[in-house]
Structure 1
Amino acid sequence: MATTVGRVALRRPCMGGRARWRFIATSPAAELSPAELTEMRNDLFNKEKSRQLSLTPRTEKIEVKHVGKTDPGTVFVMNKNISTPYSCAMHLSEWYCKKSILALVDGQPWDMYKPLTKSCEIKFLTFKDPDPREVNKAYWRSCAMMMGCVLERAFKDDYVVSLVRVPDVPVIAGAFCYDVALDKRLDEWMPTKENLRSFTKDAHTLIYRDLPFETLEVDAKVALEIFQHNKYKVDFIEEKASQNPERIVKLHRIGDFIDVSEGPLIPRTSVCFQYEVSAVHNLPRSQPSLVRRFQGLSLPIHLRAQFTIWDKLLERSRKMVTEDEITQTESTAPTQ
């Protein structure tokens, strides 16, 4: 027997030949509807972004020196805390704007839309570089964040969806992942191919919208306020804040979806080309709520694959990525 919840068709076993459905109110702990949570989070994000911009009332200039293979030594005079690596790329050529996925700012990986804070040296990274590891990692993180956006909204207001974490999965593991705790009423839900196609369709809508990945570094207090209704994110924020004395946490936003991510991430959703939510696995129970591992596969527009190769990669991506495999792939990844 099947029913549709939000836009996702759910299947549950029938009891005594009849399907019995009992719809109860959303958990009181959630307090706000998903739409209200989205509005609240964006209000707080925008407020903090405006506050940070107001800290530099006058424009201060910085010098940014390009150290890439082409056009080396070019110096840009940019605006501190306003100009971004993408702003610099615009001064070079359209090629840099289209092909650059990340920047190295004084040797540190940097989001293309993250403001520059001081005079520095800059280099742009692409998928075709001899060592694309940082770009690949950013792409995998970004694809996982997009999947989180899709999953948080797929069930609309009917069920509670709590995003848990993005496992740090190397590209060679074969799939990017997002761990999600769904409403307890969905513990018996078995995702169908139709469900996965629905998730995939929503992801392609994000790609089509060509949304930028915004980044904002905030005090942990701000991040905790934004994610006060998600206990998993609260724990993650506390963990990340404890790792630096300033207790700074990095947030990213696409459209009106906000998540906690160390980054860096790709510049825009349209960097993705082939994208599919391929599998859902139940994780071993280590806490009261059942946590599902959603997995997906994607290739960027710069590296699109033929259908036969894509199908083979897709089949591999359906195999559950386990914690042991994550540890193993990290330890055996090339370091050259």
Structure 2
Amino acid sequence: MAVTRFKFLSTFSRQFCTNSNAHVVQQTRLRIEEIRAKRLSIFDKELKRQQALIPRLEKIEVTYEGLDNETTTLVMNKGVSTPYNCAQHISEHVVKNSVAAEINGEIWDFHRPIPSDCTLKLLSMKPEDQHQASLVNKTFWRSCSFLLGAVVEGSFQDEISVSLHSFPPANVRSGSFVYDVQLSLDDWVPSQSDLRQISASFQKFVRQNHSFQRLDIDSSVALKMFEDNAFKAEQIPHIATKSSSGQTVTVYRVGDHIDISRGPMIASTSLVGRCLLTAVHKLDSRIYRFQGIALPSEIYINHFALGIIEARARKLNPARIPELKSN
């Protein structure tokens, strides 16, 4: 897949675009492309390696539980078939409206392979069960944080360095989803034009209908993948110790962007409707908290109601401020 670029130039960064440093700008742009291309190469190589470890296809039985407790037994391929593949056997409507899955009671990525016989439920953005609704909301919010990081990382294309730090656990009650980012700017205050331009890039990205592709990798592979980001490299050993194996890290790919998250994530960016960057707050040590809001693609509200939500999302999100050991 070709590398997608976000061509946002803030009013703050534009003042540095002079003939005297044009060669520096070009080098920075190539650097961004090289970093993303390297991560994609490692991701694809590791995915192929893991797929080659499957010696032969084994069949499993997936019991799909639909509306009114109707069940359908599907014979699928162990470690290869995903909830998406199961949905393809049911209906186009189910494929289009499924946000995530539930495997034996555990929320599951729509494009994550199924490892064994199981009971499957496919979740939409409007599940009747309140517990499922809470899980779906958190999955949607978490995915939006991930996408915000993708957009911000590609938004500053001049000499300004951008290092994604992390995003806090999804908390719908906070009023905004968040990504904390280090910029090589001491006191940047984005204008309304800046916010609108990043929002436009955000909207354009989600409309490209990218799937969320999950991959569990060894921590050594993760360290190689994120060796250009001091924060991620610092976080990876700790993240790995919390995995079931004690040495793996989960990454997701969306388009040309790869990042770390335990997930799960929504099926694709097409499930995100109206999305906005509402505020950027300076935290500390050049760390900026980017905050946004989004609506599921099937949910519409009037401008007045959206304005109330947007106003709330401008306030500093109270999520824990990240620890900074690397600068």
User: TM-score surpassing 0.5?
Assistant: yes
Do structure 1's residue 68 and structure 2's residue 60 form an aligned pair? no
* 1:34–1:157 contact (8 Å) kept in structure 2: no
Q: Which residue of 2 aligns with 1:256?
A: 256
The correspondence for 1:120, drawn from 113, 118, 121, is: 118
SS of the residue corresponding to residue 149 of structure 2 reads helix
The separation in 2 between residues aligned to 1:140 and 1:21, in whole angstroms, is 42
Q: Which residue of 2 aligns with 1:95?
A: 93
Which deviations, in whole Å up to 9, do the C-alpha atoms of 1:197-231 show, x marking residues without a partner? 11111111112211111111111111111001111
Q: Which residue of 2 aligns with 1:151?
A: 152
* 1:33–1:157 contact (8 Å) kept in structure 2: no
Amino acid at match of 1:313: I
Q: Which residue of 2 aligns with 1:188?
A: 187
Tell me, which stretches of 5 or more residues in structure 2 are unaligned?
1-6, 322-327
The separation in 1 between residues aligned to 2:299 and 2:236, in whole angstroms, is 34
The correspondence for 1:34, drawn from 21, 32, 35, is: 32
The separation in 2 between residues aligned to 1:240 and 1:178, in whole angstroms, is 18
The alignment-based identity, stated in percent, is 35
TM-score (norm 2): 0.88
The separation in 1 between residues aligned to 2:250 and 2:158, in whole angstroms, is 27
The separation in 2 between residues aligned to 1:111 and 1:46, in whole angstroms, is 19
Q: Work out the number of aligned pairs and report it.
A: 309
Which deviations, in whole Å up to 9, do the C-alpha atoms of 1:284-307 show, x marking residues without a partner? x3xxx3100000000001222121
* 1:241–1:247 contact (8 Å) kept in structure 2: yes
Which deviations, in whole Å up to 9, do the C-alpha atoms of 1:70-110 show, x marking residues without a partner? 46321111111211101111111222112211111111110
Q: Which residue of 1 aligns with 2:84?
A: 86
Amino acid at match of 1:291: I
Which deviations, in whole Å up to 9, do the C-alpha atoms of 1:145-188 show, x marking residues without a partner? 111111111112532100000111411110000000012xx212
User: What does 1:167-182 align with in structure 2 at a 5 Å threshold?
Assistant: 167-182=168-183
Query: Would you identify which runs of 4 or more consecutive aligned residues in structure 1 move more than 6 Å?
Result: 19-22
Which stretch of the first structure deviates more once superposed, 234-243 or 147-156?
234-243
TM-score (norm 1): 0.85
Residues 122 and 264 from structure 1, CA distance in 2 versus in 1: closer, same or farther, beyond 3 angstroms?
same
Q: Which residue of 2 aligns with 1:198?
A: 197
User: What does 1:307-326 align with in structure 2 at a 5 Å threshold?
Assistant: 307-323=303-319
The separation in 1 between residues aligned to 2:219 and 2:174, in whole angstroms, is 31
Tell me, which stretches of 5 or more residues in structure 1 are unaligned?
1-5, 326-336
SS of the residue corresponding to residue 160 of structure 2 reads coil
* 1:80–1:117 contact (8 Å) kept in structure 2: yes
* 2:196–2:277 contact (8 Å) kept in structure 1: yes
* 2:8–2:156 contact (8 Å) kept in structure 1: yes
* 2:227–2:233 contact (8 Å) kept in structure 1: yes
Which deviations, in whole Å up to 9, do the C-alpha atoms of 1:286-329 show, x marking residues without a partner? xxx3100000000001222121111110111101012369xxxx
Residues 102 and 193 from structure 1, CA distance in 2 versus in 1: closer, same or farther, beyond 3 angstroms?
same
SS of the residue corresponding to residue 209 of structure 1 reads coil
Amino acid at match of 1:262: R
Q: Which residue of 1 aligns with 2:136?
A: 135
The separation in 1 between residues aligned to 2:60 and 2:145, in whole angstroms, is 34
RMSD: 2.6
